[in-house]
Amino acid sequence: MLSQIIQRGPVGGAWGIGEWLIAMLVLLGVLAIAYLVVKSLGLPIPPVVWQIIGIVIAIGFGIVAIRFLLSL
C-alpha cells in the first residue's frame, strides 16, 4: 500500500509541492519524537547522526525547491 502511494501520489497523480512539504513535516515530527525518546532514556546521540539528519533535510528542501521552480 505504501509503495502505491509513493508511486502514484496521494491523489493518483504526481506529488506536488504541498504533498512533499507535508511528507517532510511528518518525517520531522517522527524524528522529533524519536529524539525525545532517546533523550529521555539518557542515550547519547553521536554528532555524525546529526550531520546525516541535516544532510537529509537539506536534500529534501532542495528537492521541493527544484520541483517548485520546475512547476513555474
- State the total domains in the chain: 1
- 4 lies in a domain? no
Q: How far is CA 48 from CA 44, 45, 51, 55, in A?
A: 12, 8, 5, 11
Looking at residue 72, its pLDDT comes to: 77
- 37 lies in a domain? yes
**Residue range 27-71, pLDDT digits in tens:** 888 888 988 898 899 988 888 988 988 888 888 888 888 877 877
Looking at residue 40, its pLDDT comes to: 92
Q: Give the domain extent around 31.
A: 14-71
- 1 lies in a domain? no
Cα–Cα distance for residue pair 49/51, rounded to 1 Å = 5
pTM score > 0.85 for this model?
Answer: no
- 58 lies in a domain? yes
